[in-house]
Structure 1
Amino acid sequence: MAEFIGVPSAEGRRVVIVASRFNEHITQKLADGALDCCLKHGGRLEDVDQIWVPGAWELPPAVMKALQTERYDCVVAVGAVVRGETPHFDFVAGEANRGLALLQGEFGVPIGLGLLTTDTMQQAEDRAGGVHGNKGWDAALAALEMADLFGRLDLMNDAEG
């Protein structure tokens, strides 16, 4: 039985962090966490790019444009959608997540999901470096691990092909 597992490593990998400016006091912390994760896992600052978009709704098209360049081994998408008094939250959060999932399948490039969808601003703060850690860091860690796993699977496929 063959078993494959990725190791979170940014060494030799190109990473793009796509971040929403809406709720920037939260998303800046998420983006900083993602960058810190990349650097602490062997990445170089010059191998990480950052793209800022107006809000979570704009994350999927920006990620798509980034992936079309074929420059990146993985993507980290960060944002914060906090529930309000209208159903707007449901549409934005759901469609942004769906768009990112579709892009990951279409391009075969890992996308770490650091898009917070919380009921309160306090919950978002707790997940942007607060009591629940930094979900930007966690999203980058997952993206790096998946990029490594994809590389291992590609090597296996090349060896058999």
Structure 2
Amino acid sequence: MGEYKPEEGSFNVGAVRIAVIAARWNSEVTDGLLAGAVRALSRHGVSDDALEIYRVPGAFELPLASQRAAQTGRFDGVIALGCVIRGDTPHFDYVCSETTRGIGEVGLTENLPIAFGLLTTDTLEQSLERSGNNAENKGEEAALTVLEMLTIFKQMDGDA
């Protein structure tokens, strides 16, 4: 199975402001996703002053907080980070489905790059593998996705 990796090194975003919305639920995972996102943004010249980090209770709150950030007009992109681990009830399916739908809807209605950094895993171990200080960190991938989309938007607008 092929894996998507953003094309790192080809970004042309200039001075941007990014909101990072991270869930507190499963913080042992989401803290790692957040660290990965910040690392990637810093590596590509996004200063700490250009980042605003907000923590929300859980994954279900990511779409609303992302929408609020987008509607302020202060951000060029939003990174939504969370983790839902399958349990014994259908709750996992409901939260994953609605969070996914909500984040996608925000990007479309607000016309803003919203990165989907929601882990939906079967085990804590899978989540930790995808949020560690390694090449598989999905928070880092989400940050790179926002930068790539901002670059594409600039090209579409004729600004690149």
TM-score scaled by length of structure 2: 0.90
Residue segments in structure 2 that go unaligned for 5+ positions in a row: 1-6
1:71-113, Cα deviation, whole Å (9 max, x unpaired):
1111111000000000000000110010000010111111111
CA 1:132–1:91: 2 relative to 1, 3 Å: farther
Which structure 2 residues correspond to residues 76-115 of structure 1 after superposition, within 5 A? Answer: 76-115=79-118
In the alignment, structure 1 residue 32 sits paired with structure 2 residue 35: yes
Query: Residue 77 of structure 2 aligns with which residue?
Result: 74
> What RMSD in Å do the two structures reach over aligned CA positions?
1.8
Match of 2:158, SS state, is helix
1:19-54, Cα deviation, whole Å (9 max, x unpaired):
000000100110111011111001111001101000
TM-score scaled by length of structure 1: 0.89
Residue segments in structure 1 that go unaligned for 5+ positions in a row: 157-161
Contact 2:16 2:75 in 1 (8 A): yes
Identity of matched residues, %: 40
CA 1:136–1:152: 2 relative to 1, 3 Å: same
Structure showing the higher helix proportion among its residues:
1
Larger Rg: 1
Q: 4+ residue runs of structure 1 moved beyond 4 angstroms?
A: none
Match of 1:154 among 153, 157, 160: 157
Query: How many residues get paired?
Result: 152
Contact 1:80 1:116 in 2 (8 A): yes
